[in-house]
Structure 1
Amino acid sequence: MEFTFESRILIVDDELSSILVLEKAVEGLGEVRYSTNPKEVPQLVQEYLPHLIILDIDMGDKSGLDLCKELMLMHLPHSLTVMFVTSHQEPDLEYFSLKLGAVDYITKPVNIKNTRMRVSQQLNIINYQTQLENISRVLHREKEMLQTTLKSIGDGVVATDTEGRVTFLNPIAERMTGWTEKEAKGRTIEEVMELRDATSQATQINPIRLALQEERIVGMALNCQLHGREGQIYRVEDSAAPIRDENGNINGAIIVFHDISESVAMAVKMTYLANNDQLTGLPNRILLHDRISHALKAAEGGKTLTAILMIDIDHFKYINDSLGHASGDALIKKVAKRIESLISPSSTLARIGGDEFVLMLEKCSSVAYVAGIASNLIASFKEPFLIDETEYKITVSIGVSISPLDATVEETMMRHADVAMYRAKNLGRNNVCFFSEELENALLKRHNLEQLLRDSLDKGNIDVFFQPQVELTNKKICGFEALARLKNEEGDFVSPAEFIPLAEELGLINRLGSIVLKKSCAFAKRISESQLNYKVSVNVSAMQINSNTFVEEVADCLEQFDLQSRYLELEVTESALVNDFSSTQHKLKALSTMGLSIAIDDFGTGYSSLSYLKAFPIHVLKIDQSFVKDMLNDEQSLGIVRTIILLAKSLKLNLVAEGVEQLQQADMLKELSCNIVQGYYFSRPVVEQEAIALLSDWPR
């Protein structure tokens, strides 16, 4: 680093002639000032701050020696350099002048050449000293800055010499190791920083040792713990590096480390949350997948079986709705605990849905063993569950898939177990069902039907047939019921009993219902132009009624086809009425106010509650075909038909009997005063053009 030095020289002499000679001697060596009055010199020195004072010893009232003593006691930014000038020749005078702090002694008469040389040398010395002082100050500041930085850094820092003995610790390192810098200095790095493997607790080599031995930067081993002096334990990450001088020689090493305990804890927590169900703590789908994959791989080529049991709580939705979600969650946790209490530690119980659990059994000796476990699970649920001091009895349905008997791939096993579980529900619930080829075929058929239904809805390939409703008194058509039809790839019709429940299960019933409603309104518009009062009845599912936009959809459809509402009738099932009673009541009243008539389809097969006949705006009761079919041979069926007819009359409701396939049935219904019927005896459901043709060609 370079420094610019501009010297300032002060000449003090009571003789002006001597001053002029001295000025001549130092000319060009710096800025020069002078004084002939010794008394003003102290003030002048404070103001001018000269680097060099050339001071005459003999100056009348005040000698240069006394003035020098005074000046040396002054507090100045830098030390004074004094050179004495005198004409005296006493041998001790030079000694005393140097003793006072002077650096040189010049005798009069002044030799200009020698004096200039002496002054120049002193100024060079002063310049050199000034540079050293400036460098020293800069180095001191840099050292202080480095110390401050190392002490302020958020990481722990420890420095050692080439022998691995500690020379420095910053405050973070002091806190984590438990050693103060004063206590640690001179001790080995291993004594101050005790490192262990977090899993095995084996002692680990300190990276500083490797950095010194291999003369390179070294990172800390993974899974490392720092054990502090007072028992503190930290998970740490760090790196160590050798310290080199300007020539590249190693004169020590430094290690920088930081606490990652919170990060490790968070990573462990995140891993747990990613692999476990938050409510029960059981493995979730991700961890279950890993366990099943491992079990199937381990069982390859062996003689043991791997089983997957799909466990579903029966009617949990109703339980959850009645108890409330908090109590429902409490029940789920109790169910998990009960199942866990019945299985071995080697088994895996996972929760994969709201009320669905999967139990994976490894290394099973036989199918009988799996069946025994499943039976024990079913039996265990005979004991009621206590929730908020109230006992609740629940049952479960279990589907079982076994590898390698019916599958060897996890995805297939899960699918098989799911199919078997639904089979168990269909058999009455509270049951165990094993997967079979029959179920596989049913599953494949269902998959194909689902694909057909989705494709048909996407392309609008849903047919709507119309079955005429006939008045028995005059044998004339008075209306039609719209019926959805679905064709497969071979051109054959799929039974509505198959694709309509599937549409409801898949959440596609609203799309299906919307297509049927629009096609029915279009047909009703065409036949209404004949000036006859033909109504078209459209079946509406509970899911459609539950839709928030259903009323608006019906209104929009009427407006789109410019159809008067009196030509449209909506048929709802009894179960649809009791599902969300208040909302359904509000919507049906709104539709009735618009002028639509409301019919109850399949009356007598559902809840058959008289209360909703009063609560809802019902206009028509439709007698289910199962009663019509058997009424000629079964007194009970005939009694039900007679009762429904009497009920409708007393409530002033219209009647329609479905499923009339024989003349005798029509005659009996007419005798019982049920005047409107539909069924194969009069006509099968037909396409729109045939239905229109029937109106002009009736009776046939």
Structure 2
Amino acid sequence: MAMPSGGPRRRDVDLRETLDFLSDGFALFDTDDRLVVHNDRFIELFPFLSVLGDLEGLNFFALASVPCGEWSRVPDPDAYVVERMRRHHRADGEPFDIPLENGGWVRVRERRTPTGGIVSTWTDISELKEVEHTLRDAIDGIGEGFILLSPDGQIVLANASMSRLFAKVGVTLRPSARFDTALEAAKRGGLFGPATTDDALALLTGRPDAEPRIEIALSTGAWLLASHRRMEDGCLAAVWTDVTAQKRREQELIDARSQVEEQAAALGEFARLVSRQARSDALTGLPNRFALEERIDQLLAEEKDQPEIWLGFIDIDHFKTVNDRVGHAAGDRLLIDFAAFLRNQLRADDLIARIGGDSFAVMLLGIDEAEAQRIATRLVAVTRGHLFPISGQSFALSLSIGLARTGGPDSSARAVLVCADTACCVAKESGRDRVQLYDTGDPKVTDTHERISWAERIRSALELDQLILELQAIVGTDGGVQGYEALIRLDDNMGGMYGPAHFLPAARRLGLMRRIDSWVCRRAVTYASRLVRRGIQRYVSVNIGARTLADPGFHKELVQLLDRYPGCEKGLRIEITETEAIHSLSEITGFLARLRQRGIRIYLDDFGNGYNSFDALKQLPVDGIKIDWRVTRDLLVDPIDEALMKAAISIAHSLDLELVAEGVENDTQLRKLRELGVAKYQGYYFHRPQPAEAALS
């Protein structure tokens, strides 16, 4: 919604417009190395980053590690990325040049802000690089002026270039003539400019004790560099080189340096302004999460005896219904009004922050647990009894509040915020419109804390590239490998390696599957492309959730990825998972049809697990089904699972679908599957998952 003139949003727009006016690329990273803001020129210089969507919030490593055309211009892409990270984190202001994928070059300068962030600028120096290259070629091929003088200063030899130079003022360089006489005649004829003094001309005659390098100014404005060297026989060899272009370029570079220094000073001031703005929420004007964490950590660091800080994490219940009824603009207006309402209900020294969306937080100092609960409970009650008029309607809101306090040896702003968020989640799951204290003795609190902890670990793994892709073979009746299923693992860099069952459930609940699916797709497509290029008749099969497949943003991202690796479709297959996650499977049928037209085979995964497998098979355009490992596991002991297997085999045969049985772990299962008519298998009996590079080698 429109902000009042001069408000935070207007200033934010003005700042972004100012950035976009700059001819240099600009980006600001916060203390966690996450991108805060960038201008349009940044994307123009690095267009391959557009596949990542909204860049703000991504860390520098995620940007620097995107495969791109720049890598083809360096001998070792991995070392190149490592060096970029080293220079970025050093941020000492020293310029360095990097190649662009369009063949050009940029000069990078990175500096630390007073708050610990990093300001990065990219100046296009493609033209400078090109001019420098041209000058080198020109100097190698041009006919420099050359003259050879006898020990007593007589002309022995002058080349055509030198002769043409003096001929412009009517002076002929004749053998045996004295060169100092020719210089004097050229001076009278107006060959030299005022900057060429009599002393400089005297040096050009080659005194026995002088081997000068003299810059000669011509009256035309050109410049020559005269290099004289005395040889063993006493003769003097002189080479006069036209350095006009260099002299002009030097002046241009001096002017450019002055301009860059002025821009750098302006950008430094702008960065300080942006840093201040980065601590404020653009919509409500309240401090944001960064400012809240900064203030809590500051208080904890300043006090020798750790102060008792209570933090209330506040969520507006069912706020989505407000947006659905009156639209997002009116919803934003309501958030602004609620922020003002919240401010009026609390003490003047209580710090209130907007965490994001419909989430707020309040920091309470100098109170005990009973008082913190009293304040939070009163806030819930007074909000419930207040009506917020928006767009001709009145809304009564309810709040879920989680309370936590600092304490313990590892006390920090982030830790207490996670605890308060956990308590808030418990309050919402317990019926909303209530206050929940963070209590480690409460099983609901510990379970929720574990889930939120996984969210932080997953986000960190994505940002620090701690995810690992493993491959498990899919074999035919003869045991030969036909393809691989891509399986994800999480390495926490502390000796812990976690399979998908540990973290994917939390990722689904917390809305992180889209990012994980995108990460897996990027890796799987590169491996599929490698198989195709090598002529290996195998494929890589990747799991993608139905919710991700219904996302138009993911459609665009995947199509761009496929276009970047032409022909990879022959070595790529997609397994649809979590079909129960969306209400209507028709949301993804069109996109699946487009993928099949490109040559990608589609499978329905986890068939037989749940009630919607057969319904999904009716609705989705697929080429095969994969029997859930639980059906295979219980095939020999559960008649229902045997019936499911027979039904699946019958359907696959009648519809001409490929069928793969997952979870084959022993010879008895394999014999039973063969007896029933299954021809493709996957499981530990044949192959345990391996890191992708090892499996493909």
Question: Shared topology, TM-score over 0.5?
Answer: no
- State TM-score, norm by structure 1: 0.44
Higher normalized contact order (CA 8 Å, seq sep 6+, divided by chain length): 2
- State TM-score, norm by structure 2: 0.45
Q: Radius of gyration: which is bigger?
A: 1
